[in-house]
Structures are given as structure tokens and as C-alpha cells.
Amino acid sequence: MNLRDFPRPKNDNGIGLHFRLDLTETDNKPYISQGVAWLQQINAKWTLIAGQDWMQIGKAARSCWDAGIMPLCRLVCKIDKPFIDWEDGVKTLHDLGVPAYMQIFNEPGDSREWKSEQPDISRFGEKWADAAARVFNAGGMPGMGGVLGEDEWLAAFNAVQGGAAHPLWSKAWFCVHNYGSNHPPTYPYDDVNQKGIPVTPAEYAAYKFSMPLDELNELRATKKNPGDTVFDDDTTVLRVHVFKKWMTDSLGYCLPMLGGEGGWQWQVEEDLRYPKLPDEFHANYTREMFEWFRFGKLSDGSPLMDELFCCTAWIQADGQADSWWYGPLGTKQLTIDTVAMIPSFERKFSWDAPETPAPAPIVIAPTPENALPAPE
């Protein structure tokens, strides 16, 4: 398929949020319906559904589809599980009339994704290539499963028989995980990272840092990285540039990049040069990422690439501290309200015809050269 032929939701705005994990739907526990309503509350048009079996996934996917939201689907399973019926997953979605966007595995470098708890990147590549071919042959769209390192991407790419010539790539897509840590959306191009600008006493009083002010400013000064780009430090939501380069260098072009997880985790404090992520930063940073699709440019000022279909923040609900609704740290109401306030819009691609300007009005009047002489 051409890039423009991949399924997208009506009135696509690129805004996505990972669906809740509990896919129960009963009279007493209408959790799928509640999850759909939450997506509608923030006008999200994309979501990723992770479920324990295809029936659960299909039920949630159809509910999202009926609401005008495009579901990406992931079976929660260990990478080294002996057999997975990928064909059944494709059939389940097709029987429901839902496009079969199938994320195959998840973050292969994470020990939690392996029954053995020992990541084996070569084995991941072989397993992904086999599963992707089966999904493709069944009529689905195989998704690269949240890879975070180029070695993981290359293991999967090189395991595909025929390399770039294999037809499965014509329907494949790349599942983006672009977490921002406690970095701003402009990282690594911001002044803290590039110039080591000091924290002011007012900033220090307003936000939570993990060391005294003088030590913090010394850390900023010694850890500055002038000239750093996203290819030097990709702990940023801008790492979509890096993913695109991996694919272009090996495949020759970039697959559609669809968000599976990403954005900012709640009150994260990984880079001590920056404050423990405050609520207002979580809200404003998330809005800025989503508005890439509104304004047509990323936070570094570069044009929004056609290949980036959506960004999908982590996560709606169900026990995680990062849950937007009813998590152990409370509902993230400021973030919900801030995203919900984004004006309605539809993202534009390079192939979209520009709006035809209204014709200029015809004015019948003498030109200066032909103007009648003034009466004497």
C-alpha cells in the first residue's frame, strides 16, 4: 500500500491515548464503554488496545471503531511463547469490520516481555519475521513491536526473507514508543541541555529538585551538551526522527509510524538537571506533542512528517501510577482538561489539496493611465 492508503479515522487529528487494560464489559462493569467515552472526552482519534485474548481485543476494537476511533491491537503475550494464533487475531478483527492493525510483540529489550526473563534480540527478530509474514498472509497489517534500539529493528528487518523486497513491508507499520522522561518537548535542543542555564531561586522554590540549588547549577553547568541532536540523545518525544532514520537506512523508506505508547510519565525524575515532572508540565507538554498535528511541525521546528500518523500517550486507567483516570496518584484532571481544550482540527498531509482561495472580486474602475481628467 502507499502511505496514503493506510486506514485512518475520519476527521483524523493524530491524537492518541493508550486504552485501559481492563477490557471487561458487563452491566456492572462497563469498562470498555467507559474507555471509549474517555477517548471522546479528549477528542482522541487513535488508541492502542492491549488484551489477553482476541475476543477481548475485538470487542474493545469494535467499540472504538464505532465511535470513530482507530484501534491498534496488541495481544499481551511473551515473545518466547511457543505458539500464537496470529491468523485468528486478523480474522477476529476482519469479521468485526475493523482494520487489522496488529502490533507484534512489545519492547523486546525488556525482560518482562520474556517468559525466560532473558531478552534474546536475535530470537525476537526471527519470531517477529515469522509472525509478520503470517499476519500479512492473513490480510492484516503487521506492526513492529515497540522496538527501542536499532539492533532490535535490524534483528527483525534482517530476519525477513528477501529483506526490503518482501511484500509484507507494503502493509507493515512501526509502533512508536516515544517517552519524554522529565525532559521538555524540545529536548535535546533546550537551553538546559545545550547551555546549562542555571535554575533561578524562584524556579527552585516552585518545583521539586533532588539536590541543593548550588549543586544543581553545578550539575547543569558540567552536564551541558552543546551541539547535541536527537541522534546523540534520543530520550525525548522527538525520537521519531531516529526511528525514521533506522527505517530509511535499511528499508529505503519509512513505514507509517503509529503511536503505541509515549509522552510523559507521571512525576518522573530521571534526569536530575530537570525538576520532578510537575502536573502543569505534564499537561502542557502533552498538549504540545498533540499539537504537532494541528500546526504541522514538531517541537524542534521541523515539519511534521507524513509518516507520523499519530502519537499515543500512556495510559487511560487500571492501577498504574500514570493512569489519567482513577490511578493510585489520582485522576490527572489538569492534563485531561488541557488536552480537551485543543480546538477541533484535522491534520494535513503533503498530498492533501490546498484549500482553493476565493476568487478575487471583479472591480470595474478606470486605471490610473486611463483615468478621466479632473474637471476644470
Taking the C-alpha atoms of residue 46 and residue 14, their distance in angstroms, rounded to an integer, is 7
pLDDT score recorded for residue 357: 60
Write out the chain's pLDDT in tens, 376 residues.
Answer: 999 999 999 999 999 999 999 999 999 999 999 999 999 999 999 999 999 999 999 999 999 999 999 999 999 999 999 999 999 999 999 999 999 999 999 999 999 999 999 999 999 999 999 999 999 999 999 999 899 999 999 999 999 999 999 999 999 999 999 999 999 999 999 999 999 999 999 999 999 999 999 999 999 999 999 999 999 999 999 999 999 999 999 999 999 999 999 999 999 999 999 999 999 999 999 999 999 999 999 999 999 999 999 999 999 999 789 999 999 989 999 999 999 999 999 999 999 977 656 666 655 544 444 444 544 4
In terms of Cα–Cα distance, which of 74, 73, 80, 69 is closest to 35? 69
Please give the torsion angle defined by the CA atoms of residues 150, 151, 152 and 153, in that order, rounded to the nearest 10 degrees. 50
**Omega of the bond prior to 188 within 30 degrees of 0, cis?**
yes
pLDDT score recorded for residue 320: 86
pLDDT score recorded for residue 355: 60
Contact call for residues 79 and 73 (beta carbons, < 8 A): no
In terms of Cα–Cα distance, which of 129, 110, 130, 126 is closest to 118? 110
Q: β-pairing, 70-75 with 46-51?
A: parallel
pTM of the model: 0.92
